[in-house]
Chains A and B, each alone.
Chain A
């Protein structure tokens, strides 16, 4: 394999992942997923697995009991009875299997997604050196297989795959992805500049580096282990909900157990009928306990992490996914999140006696050879405003004067004519050294721009001050609406910037954030997070640099950019593979969806009990008290049919709700009260009404099939 070949493959992962990720959007009941899930559903009948879910364990025990009762009825040749018990028993077994299937399906989908990530990582290769010195032969090694201590070669154009130590060579490295600093930095062996960061790119020359950490693939491993039931830890809200579900299960267990003596007493005093049978009691118990939510609970949790992966975010703890829904405060870096990466020319403000067009012309000349984004934006603005076309340096016979630390200005020389642009202070000194005046009006404009938060650049043409170019941060399109949405959701946005307070305030106002932290140092960030947390808020932030690590570790939801340093990734609890800081907003929504799905299905599950009572209670006691037939408002065919229909409905509703559990209840950025009203209507009222219809339908079908 030639070295070109390798380096072309050795691109940073963020460029590849989005297309790859598309393949993860499997259809819900994709056959390749369903078949293994069905097999897995049977495997999960292992009592050790069932014991982990107390609600379903009760159904599981009920299935065994009714099976035993069925055998007992068969052996005693109670044929009619046996048929009824058989149907109930099968319905219970299927309730357990459906719940298992939901969990398996969710796990299968997550594992498939995680596996596709793993494959992807393996497609990236690093150049592993046979002996740790330059010039030795190298062989391609999958990035996923890199381990601490291996020695690699990185050459111009390569992305450094992981955090490492330089042991040989000198090279310029573009670390802009991590530090935001566009100027390349020099990295060499020994001294302070010997460490290189994963995700940065070598611009020139080569380096021999020793891997200092195991690569970020560990995140994927952690993610995979999280979706596997055995290792999955329940999240705090899931635990709280499970406690409630267990309590309801216990209470209904008491209800059904005590119903037997009550029924015996009723038969005794009424002098008619048979006491309620154990099968009917088990059927009643299974219908009353919250099996719908109990059966889907873990599938919902796994699916939540799955949705994170679909958004190209790898969560390293389920707790973080859940916490995302609770976030009150978002800390957002200004650059890259709120504004486009670089400042851009926004306006030409000419000096007295100079026209705007003249200024634009001079400014464009001064920027001709300037390849920085700021320089290019001046040329673009000049073209937009005055249609000044790009000119060739050669045809002008001009020479480029680059920006240096000494002169602190840049421009071109056309013969003796020097066209320059630079910061106001520098330019003032420059013109005054030429014995020319620096107009007060221009000084005034410069101050105004600075106060507004812009960057003023003064343009001088042949010793004459032509005017000022205003560079501004450009707020990303649509971001203001996004922040308004967040405000609706009750989330406060805070902009973090290294800019001074004036600049920060101006951008904050334009972007519509609620607050800002100007001249922010890493310590300030940490302090701010602690301050919010002490006020009872949950804080989310994104970060990429090593200096963000303490703040990331402190934040409740910390999203590290995949392009960021290893330290940042270790400190955070999520990694965004797209390295897109606006992703936080999506993460919050996914977190909320997770909780909403659980809450809505819980409400639905409990509300279902009303209809089930109306089906089972008259059926169970009508032999003792014939008047109870009046409660059978669904007018079901017979007591046995009523009980069968209720139990079958109870099993089928789990399957019907699997898509909802996996996709999640749709989140809309509405106020809490509106959201609650909507979900209460759908899942509360719906939960009361749906089973009436469902049970009646099943009863009709059973009757039509002559099964009852």
Chain B
């Protein structure tokens, strides 16, 4: 690991703290009813929406109504995204005249964007019209992020309520306010900053530009029917091709890029995602994008502290997240900076120096180098963003395992917008439950007793994703439709499948790549994993919120276990690692661990 990597990590974390702390205070105000001082103008719009929606639009809901509204809203969102993709050829803003998206791919993409996963089986610049990108995908980037914030607001209200009613707020109000007050203004700001760095924003048709140097490459010859031409030995005939021009994809990128990061969506405008120069042109834009990913998840921790009336609670949760994140980041940075044994045998110099970044540069952009790529990989998988600026598939085995593990922890280390915090709070409930018993009291978190009902719902939450990941992977490796998509042999092929299901069920959306996922089998299986990974967690979580809301908070005494100090943070980290990782140990052993051992320890 290089000094530059350490400095980058420290600068990143400090900038994050400086930006997120005030935003947390603001988010707490957005989560509470009433007008925010200085924003009367926005409040006017807000009231207009409610007026249009009818007299009962802002009434408090119990958890069932809240969950139902949320499900209906997201189901309609999915239908809408599906419809636009299926009809895009007849709709405007399609300068490249892309055809309608295939049903299985459209279904996968619709679920993917609604579930805040943004797994992309398609390549954006060759599939989606500008209208689809903007109206279907970008809009869902906003709504899925707002849904996450709404759920975490509801859960926090469950903790902070005085026990007089089981209401947990109003879904429509929460989603309106988080979009109107938070996501929209921040996105506009970030879009402008990104444009200043060189991210494009236009409706032009794709540009054909002349190359500075012609490029010659060979490819298999095909006949008129598109079949490969074979020679006498049955080998394909190769022909040399020289190109002098390149097609550059255009589009309204900056506006989508901002919310893609802020909403931890991660669905790239282009297939290359944030490795593409038009999405992420400079090292500075790279830092800004990483900050944007963590900004709202971090700020929500502070908002949580403020909304429950004890900022230390927010610090504790953030502390646990940060410690896990730093450890994981150091591992991936170390793994990527180390020399690859294969290249070492060839006598290649892999030491970092003034002239080169050293380490494993395969699949990484030279403008980012090892540390910015490694940090980006940790950030994007710690948060459920899934944007990538390097090929995770090309990482060293341990470097690739870290993103995998970060996702398998349940996307609770910072995690998705809202979903990271609510996931972490479930782990906190679990930690409190076990430690509460250990000190001889019915466990309580923030004064609310954690009893059988909460444990039942918590159990469902912690059961859902491992079940989806492991069952999905098991099915995929058992059927030919699953195994035929794998390009890499051996344990790495297994890692790729495991990564795909881990990413989908945990709503991350990043791809290990190396596996052709745009097949009916993977499109369907992954869509199922994404939908249930998102909503089978949200519904029991809202049930917890409703149950907690109805409980009278117990006052703090010397017998109450403090949930802010170092001890609780340690306990929380322990529970996250133990419950999060134990389920995946055998699968990891058959994937990245054995790859690592094969490569480095006992080749």
B483 at the interface (CB under 8 A from A): yes
Instruction: Mark A623-648 against chain B: 1 for CB-CB distance below 8 A, else 0.
Output: 00111111100000000000000000
Q: What's the count of A-B pairs with C-beta under 8 Å?
A: 221
Assuming the A-B contacts A630-B597, A667-B440, are A487 and B466 also in contact, with contact meaning beta carbons closer than 8 angstroms in the complex? no
Residues of B within 8 A of A260 (CB): 474
B240: interface (CB < 8 Å): no
Give the docked Cα–Cα distance between A284 and B582 (Å): 13
* Minimum CB distance partner of A606 in chain B: B578
The reply to whether A259 and B586 form a contact with Cβ atoms under 8 Å apart is: yes
Q: Give the interface centre of B452, B565, B574 by most chain A CB atoms within 10 Å.
A: B452
Q: Which residues of A contact B533 (CB under 8 A)?
A: none
A328/B437 in contact, CB under 8 A = no
Contact check, B459 vs A243: say whether CB atoms are below 8 A apart: yes
- B 433-447 to A, binary, CB cutoff 8 A, 1 in contact else 0: 111111111100001
Residues A270 and B578 in contact, CB atoms below 8 Å apart: no
B586 touching A255, Cβ below 8 Å: yes
Which candidate, B43-51, B276-284, B345-353, B490-498, is the interface stretch facing chain A?
B490-498
CB <8 Å contact, B447 and A536: yes
> Please, which residue of chain B has its CB at the minimum distance from the CB of A260?
B474
Contact of A258 among B474, B491, B557 (CB under 8 A): B474
Enumerate chain B residues within 8 angstroms of A673, measured Cβ to Cβ.
Answer: 561-562, 565, 567
Which residues 450-477 in B have Cβ within 8 Å of A in the complex?
A: 450-452, 454-456, 458-460, 462-463, 466-467, 470-471, 473-475, 477
Q: Find the residue from A261, A322, A602 having the highest chain B CB count within 10 A.
A: A261
| Distance to closest chain B CB from A513 (angstroms) | 15
Task: Verify if A254 is at the interface (C-beta below 8 Å from B).
Answer: yes
Specify which of B438, B450, B490, B493 is in contact with A240 (CB 8 Å cutoff). Answer: B450
B447 proximity list for chain A (CB < 8 A): 536
**Is the beta-carbon distance between A488 and B440 smaller than 8 angstroms?**
no
Q: Mark A237-278, 1 if CB is under 8 A from B, else 0.
A: 101110110110011101111111111111001100000000
Taking CB atoms, residues of chain A closer than 8 Å to B551 are 536
Indicate if the CB atoms of B470 and A254 lie closer than 8 Å.
Answer: yes
- Residues B106-124 near A (CB distance < 8 A): none
| Interface: A680 (CB within 8 A) | yes
Assess the A599–B437 pair: CB atoms within 8 A.
Answer: yes
B310 to chain A, nearest CB (A): 16
Within 514-560 of B, Cβ neighbours of A (below 8 Å) are at: 551-555, 557-560
For residue A7, give the distance in angstroms from its CB to the closest CB of chain B: 45
Q: Does A530 contact B (CB under 8 A)?
A: no
**Chain B residues with CB below 8 A from A628, complex form:** 589, 593-594, 597
Nearest residue in A to B461 (C-beta to C-beta)?
A247
Which residue of chain B is the closest to A266 with respect to CB atoms? B590
Tell me how far the C-beta of B474 lies from the nearest C-beta in chain A, rounded to whole angstroms: 4
> Is B587's CB within 8 Å of the partner chain A?
yes
Asked, given contacts A247-B459, A490-B560, A535-B552, whether A675 binds B452 with beta carbons under 8 Å apart, the answer is no
Chain B residues lying within 8 Å of A269, measured Cβ to Cβ, are: 489-491, 493-494
Establish whether residues A262 and B473, one from each chain, have CB atoms under 8 Å apart when the complex forms.
Answer: yes
* Contact indicator A239/B452 (Cβ below 8 Å): yes
Interface centre among B437, B439, B565 (most CB of A within 10 A): B439
Does any Cβ of B come within 8 Å of A177's Cβ? no
Which residues of chain B (586-603) have a CB below 8 Å from chain A?
Answer: 586-587, 589-590, 593-594, 597-598, 601-602
B594-A625 in contact (CB<8A): yes
Do A603 and B438 touch across chains, with their CB atoms under 8 A apart? yes
Find the B residue at minimum CB distance from A602: B434
CA separation between A285 and B489, bound complex, in Å?
A: 29
Q: CB within 8 A of B589: which of A240, A261, A490, A617?
A: A617
**Nearest CB on A from B181, distance (A):** 33
Q: Is A549 an interface residue when CB atoms closer than 8 A count as contact?
A: no
Name the CB-closest residue of A to B460: A247
**A683 and B463 in contact (CB under 8 A), knowing A270-B491, A673-B567?**
no
| Known contacts A262-B494, A631-B589: A672-B439 contact under CB 8 Å | yes
B163 adjacent to chain A (CB < 8 Å) = yes
Q: Which residues does chain A contribute within 8 Å of B483, judged by CB atoms?
A: 265
Q: Which of A208-216, A409-417, A464-472, A588-596 contacts B (4 or more CB under 8 A)?
A: A588-596
Q: In the bound complex, do residue A255 and residue B438 qualify as a contact, i.e. CB atoms below 8 Å apart? A: no
Closest to A670 in B: B439
Give Cα A627–Cα B591 distance, bound, in whole angstroms: 12
Residues of B close to A239: CB separation below 8 A: 452
Q: Is A525 positioned at the interface, with any CB of B under 8 Å from its CB?
A: no
Flag whether B478 is at the interface (Cβ < 8 A).
yes
Tell me which residues across on chain A come within 8 A of B436, comparing CB atoms. 595, 599
**Contact: B437 with A680, CB < 8 Å?**
no
Chain B residues contacting A630 (CB-CB under 8 Å) are 597, 601-602
A111 close to chain B: CB less than 8 A: no
Select B435's contact among A258, A325, A599, beta carbons within 8 Å: A599
Q: Does B601 lie within 8 Å of A595, measured CB to CB?
A: no
Contact B598 A627 (CB under 8 A): yes
A134 within 8 A of B: no
A491 at the interface (CB under 8 A from B): yes
- Chain A residue numbers with a CB within 8 Å of B491 are 266, 269-270, 625
Residue of A nearest to B450 (CB): A240
CB proximity to B under 8 Å, residues A535-561: 535-537
Q: Residues of A contacting B438 with CB < 8 Å?
A: 596, 599-600, 603, 675-676, 679-680, 683
CB distance from A613 to the nearest CB of B (A): 5
Q: Given contacts A240-B450, A251-B467, are A491 and B557 in contact (CB under 8 A)?
A: yes
- CB neighbours (8 Å) of A266 from chain B are 491, 494, 590
Q: Do residues B477 and A265 form an inter-chain contact, with CB atoms below 8 A? A: yes
- Give chain B residues whose Cβ lies under 8 Å from the Cβ of A250: 463, 467
Partner of B440, one of A258, A264, A593, A626: A593
B567 touching A254 by the CB < 8 A rule? no
Known contacts A247-B459, A684-B574; A675 and B470 CB within 8 A of each other: no
CA separation between A625 and B467, bound complex, in Å?
A: 25
Query: Are A237 and B442 in touch, CB under 8 angstroms?
Result: yes
* C-alpha spacing A404/B564, complex, angstroms: 65
A627 & B602 in contact (Cβ 8 Å cutoff): yes
* Residues on the B chain within 8 Å of A474, using CB: none
Give the residues in chain B near A613, CB-CB below 8 Å: 582, 585-586
Question: Do B456 and A243 touch across chains, with their CB atoms under 8 A apart?
Answer: yes
B597 touches A627 (CB 8 A): yes
In the complex, A94 has a CB within 8 A of chain B = no
B571 on the A face (CB < 8 A): yes
Nearest CB of A to B386, in Å: 24
From residue A92, how far is it (CB to closest CB) to chain B in Å? Answer: 20
CB contacts (< 8 Å) of A492 on chain B: these are 557
CB pair A247 B552 closer than 8 Å = no
Q: Does B583 contact A (CB under 8 A)?
A: yes
A598 close to B (CB within 8 Å): yes
Contacts of A610 in B (CB 8 A): 578, 582
Q: In the complex, which residues of chain A have a beta carbon less than 8 angstroms from the beta carbon of B490?
A: 269-270
Partner of B555, one of A241, A536, A675: A536
- A236 near B589 with CB under 8 A, answer no
Which residue of B has the minimal Cβ distance to A664?
B440
Q: Which of B452, B474, B586, B589 has the most A CB atoms < 10 Å from its CB?
A: B586
Q: Are B552 and A534 touching (Cβ within 8 A)? A: yes
Interface flag for A489 (CB, 8 Å): yes
Residues of B85-141 contacting chain A, CB below 8 A? none
Q: Closest residue to A609 on the B side, CB-wise? A: B582
Q: Is the CB of B555 within 8 A of A537?
A: yes
Query: How far in angstroms is the closest Cβ of chain A from B120?
Result: 25
Across-interface contacts of A241 in B (CB, < 8 A): 437, 455
Whole-angstrom CA separation of A284 from B589 in the bound complex:
14
B437 touches A488 (CB 8 A): no
14 cross-chain CB contacts under 8 A:
A250-B463, A251-B466, A254-B583, A255-B466, A263-B590, A265-B483, A269-B489, A269-B490, A489-B559, A536-B555, A593-B440, A595-B437, A606-B582, A671-B559
Which residues in A have some Cβ–Cβ distance to B below 8 Å?
A: 236-237, 239-241, 243-244, 246-247, 250-252, 254-266, 269-270, 284, 288, 322, 325-326, 328, 487-492, 534-537, 591-596, 598-600, 602-603, 606-607, 609-610, 613, 617, 620-621, 625-631, 667, 671-673, 675-677, 679-680, 683-684
